[in-house]
Structure formats: C-alpha cells, structure tokens
C-alpha cells in the first residue's frame, strides 16, 4: 500500500557513488606516491652523508638537490590530497542534501495522495452519520425510559404536591412534639415491706354479658 502511495524508493545516485569511489582511489594513490617520495628523499640524505664522509662534496650536493626535488613533489601531492578531500566533503554534502530533498519530496507526495484518498466531503458525511446514529440512540434510550401501563397515568404534579404535603405535615409534627422529659425515678419501697398490688378493676356490664355469652356458646 505504501509502495503504491510513495512509489518505489529512489536508489542513491550511481554517479555520486562512482565519483566518491574514484576520489577515494585517487586519494590512496596520492598517499602512496607521497610515501614513496618520502623514502626516496630519506635515501638521498643517507647518500649525501656517505659522500660527505668520502670527501666527495660534489656528489653530496647532487643528492641534496634530488632530495629538494622530491620534497617539492611531496608538497604538490599534499596540495592534491587537500583538494581531493575538499571535493569529497562537498560531494558528500551535496549527496546528503539530495537525499534529504528526495525524502521530503516523497513525504509530500504521500501526504498529497492520502489527502486525495480522504475527501473532505467523505469526512463530513461520516461525521453526519455518527451524529445521526448518536441521536437515534438517545431517542431509543428515552423511549425505553418512558413509563408504560398504570405508571404512565400518574400525574407527576399531583405526586409532587402530595409529597410536599407529607413533608409539611412531618415538619409540623416535629415542631408540635413536646420536649422529652427524663423518666421519673422509680419509688423505692421501704425495706421489709412488699409494695401493694393494684386492686383489680371491676368488670363492666358489657364484659359480664360477653363472658356469659361465651359460656353459653361453650355449652
């Protein structure tokens, strides 16, 4: 999928890579030549010392002249190496810049492709569908919460009024309720005396008639 959007990743520039390889080879060649010239210059110094010991001044001077020529060539090779190093640094920087631009270009192309795949109209339609489904679900929940049967016939206003009356009556009872008093202390009977039992109450005529009726029914 991403390959279709981004396309095939671009390979590094073969021209830049081959140029860097060529510069590396040139640098190695220059270093080898510089080392060879250094050895030759050192050898000419040793020859000059030997000719000096042999009292051959002319030959010793010729050796020193050749040493100077070698040193001049070494200086030129050092400048060549510096130029090659500069060229390699510039080329590597240019390659890094090119790779960065290619990566950014690929990212921009991918973003553009995804924006085309995601149309703003489709997004709006999707949000409208979500809002519609949400509203439908709210209506369903409200319908399920609506009372049915006898409970649907109850008048909410009447129930609230009745509740207010009950609350008012309860508050009035609390206000009219006398303050609680401490229970009276039990009367202690004198020691050695048993408190007299209360005299039984006499039955009323109705109770006598009820007792007689129960007796007759038992017979």
161-184 confidence digits (pLDDT tens): 877 778 777 777 777 766 554 455
Mean pLDDT of 152-158: 68
Predicted structure pTM score = 0.45
pLDDT digits (tens, 9 = 90+) for 59-117: 999 999 999 999 999 999 999 999 999 999 999 998 899 889 999 999 999 888 887 87
Report whether 37 contacts 74 (CB < 8 A).
yes
Q: How many whole angstroms separate alpha carbon 20 and alpha carbon 84?
A: 10
For 196-211, give one letter per residue: b (16+ CB within 10 A) or e.
Answer: eeeeeeeeeeeeeeee
Q: Which residues contact 73 (CB under 8 A, 6 or more apart)?
A: 37
Q: How many whole angstroms separate alpha carbon 184 and alpha carbon 200?
A: 24
Mean pLDDT of 139-146: 81
Which is more confident, 47 or 16? 47
């Amino acid at each position: 999928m991403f390959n279709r959007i981004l396309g095939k990743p671009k390979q590094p520039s073969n021209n830049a890579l081959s140029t860097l390889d060529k510069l590396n080879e040139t640098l190695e060649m220059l270093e080898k030549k510089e080392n060879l010239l250094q050895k030759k210059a050192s050898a000419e110094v040793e020859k000059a010392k030997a000719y000096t010991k042999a009292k051959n001044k002319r030959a010793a001077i010729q050796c020193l002249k050749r040493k100077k020529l070698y040193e001049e060539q070494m200086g030129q090779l050092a400048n060549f190496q510096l130029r090659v190093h500069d060229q390699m640094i510039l080329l590597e920087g240019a390659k890094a810049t090119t790779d960065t631009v290619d990566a950014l270009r690929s990212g921009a192309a991918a973003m553009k492709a995804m924006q085309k795949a995601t149309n703003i109209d489709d997004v709006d339609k999707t949000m409208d569908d979500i809002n519609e489904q949400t509203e439908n679900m709210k209506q369903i929940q409200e319908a399920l919460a609506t009372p049915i049967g006898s409970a649907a016939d109850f008048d909410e206003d009447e129930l609230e009024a009745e509740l207010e009356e009950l609350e008012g009556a309860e508050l009035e009872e609390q206000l009219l309720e006398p303050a609680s008093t401490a229970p009276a202390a039990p009367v202690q009977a004198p020691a050695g005396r048993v408190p007299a039992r209360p005299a039984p109450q006499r039955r009323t005529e109705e109770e006598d008639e009820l007792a007689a009726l129960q007796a007759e029914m038992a017979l």
